[in-house]
Structure 1
Amino acid sequence: MNILDPVKSIMTTNLLTVTTGDKLTAVKEIFDNHRVHHIPVVRYKELVGIISKTDFLHFLRGFNRNAEDEFVNEARMRAYKVEDIMTKGIAKLAPEDRINVALEIFLENRFHAIPVVNAAGELEGLLTTFDIIKTLAQTPVSPEDILESRKH
């Protein structure tokens, strides 16, 4: 991986999204049925927020201890909308921003996903710490790199 490459070279583009008016039952369904931890919130193609799995679990507050708690949670999820719990003020990247810029943002902040939007504010992808780790893990290591690492 070259950290000077654009983020569009490693970002996730096949995204599951929700809208501000969706019920939280839609969010639960995505988290339950897909291996994602962040769901972008869009109005048409424009990014307006994001919901992390942590935010969603915080909303639930550890319920589900028994059938009654589960019933209460279901009612709460039908009563609340995405806009009620989404994070609005979020960092964003442009597709052409370099990976090293994203690394600095991740290093300075305590979140694990940055939406990638074009100049019109339309969502094009999502860069996560997992995307970076996966790319690093798939980067071939040359014999010279191995010899160099043994010197240190």
Structure 2
Amino acid sequence: MYTNLMSIIREPVIVRPHDSLLHTVKIMTMEYVPKLIVADENEIPLGSISQKDVLNFIYRMGDRELDSVYVSEAMKKDIITVNSSIEPLEASQIMIEKKAPLLIVISDTGKILGMIIKSDLAQYYATLIRGIHKVSEYMSKNPITVNKDSTLDEVTKIILEKNIGRLIVEDNGKILGTITTTDLLYLAPVLKFKDLKIKVKEVMTPTIVVMDENEDLNYAAKLMANRKVKGIPIVSANGELKGIVTTTDIVRALTDEKVRKYLLELKLYTSTF
């Protein structure tokens, strides 16, 4: 095992099973936290709830108001708990193999101590790993795109059916922006009105940054951390869309054996000074 050179564990953000979905949306948007732990009054974890869980429930809940829906109705009960000594590479392996949105860190008595999400592991990569991977090795190729005039309902349906966190918005091959689960969460109260013809160009996040496929993956991880985004469109030298790199891709890169060897060499090098 390797020394945990930086903390990957963040303070837990907790909601109760009988909190309302409206309360959950407010916490997610105000504190900019994409995933929350659901726990009882003794801080024992019962489940988790993500932006996508919230959006999926809202999309199919009919005429119900957000303040009338309990967190317990939308949460996921299949959680993964780990202890506080978990190493970053081990956490990455678990997340990728189990397709886990977060890991809940618990004490020996089962109480919540913290949580780990993919952004934390991407930050770890950004801080320590350099010169090992190119963006092209880990980006998701042929990303799903939508036209700027697609409706909000169409976009929400694609995101939920494809189980993805973002779509790239284009117009005649030009990248205009992205629409993400975070963007949709701000519009949560209107998502149930599927007949509204709001166009994606009116609610998307304009693309501030794109990246060349030959860049170091470390640069992508740093940009994500600095810009507080979870995905960056990847283009060729002539501006053609080639893919998208996300925090999930960064976590996947951490499972590469080359990273383990790199960290061992780094540890040996720094211990000689």
* Range into which the TM-score falls when normalised by the shorter chain: 0.7 to 0.9
Following TM superposition, where does structure 1 have runs of at least 4 consecutive aligned residues deviating by more than 6 angstroms? none
Amino acid aligned to 2:239: G
Inter-partner Cα distance in structure 1 for 2:148 and 2:257: 38
Deviation at 1:139, TM superposition (A): 3.2
SS in 2 for 1:137: coil
In the alignment, is the contact (CA less than 8 A) between 2:212 and 2:237 conserved in 1? yes
Q: Is the partner of 2:140 in helix, strand or coil?
A: coil
Compute the TM-score of the two structures, normalised by the length of structure 1. Answer: 0.78
What pairs up with 1:65-144 in 2 under 5 angstroms? 70=192, 73-76=193-196, 79-139=197-257, 141=260
The amino acid that maps onto 1:59 is L
Q: Contact between 1:47 and 1:117, CA under 8 Å: does it hold in 2? A: no
CA distance in 1, matches of 2:257, 2:182: 30
Q: What do the CA deviations read for 1:11-53 (whole angstroms, capped 9, x no partner)? A: 0113111010111122111112112101001123321111111
1:123-142: CA deviation from partner (whole Å, max 9, x where unpaired): 11101111010121243646
Distance 2:154 2:169 in 1: 12
Q: Structure 2 vs 1, CA of residues 89 and 98 (structure 1 numbering), >3 Å: closer, same or farther? A: same
Letter of the structure 1 residue corresponding to residue 174 of structure 2: E
Gaps of 5+ in 1: 65-69
More strand by share: 2
The one of 26, 29, 36 aligned to 2:154: 26
Q: What code does the residue aligned with 1:25 have?
A: D
The alpha carbon displacement at 1:120 in A equals: 2.8
Structure 2 gaps of 5+ residues are: 1-124
Structure with the larger RCO, 1 or 2 (CA within 8 Å, 6+ apart): 1
Partner residue, 2:130: 3
Between stretches 46-55 and 113-122, larger displacement belongs to: 113-122
Give the % identical residues.
25
Q: In 2, Cα distance between the equivalents of 1:35 and 1:21?
A: 22
**What SS is found at the alignment partner of 2:142?**
coil
- Which of 149, 161, 164 is matched with 1:36 structurally? 164
Closer, same or farther: CA 60–75 of 1 in aligned 2, 3 Å? farther
Q: Aligned letter for 2:238?
A: A
Question: TM-score scaled to structure 2, two decimals?
Answer: 0.45
Higher percent of residues as helix? 1
Do the aligned residues in 2 keep the contact of 1:51 with 1:87 (CA within 8 Å)?
A: yes
Counterpart of 2:145 (choices 17, 26, 34) is 17
CA–CA distance in structure 1, aligned partners of residues 198 and 257 of structure 2: 43
**Alpha-carbon deviation of 1:113?**
0.6
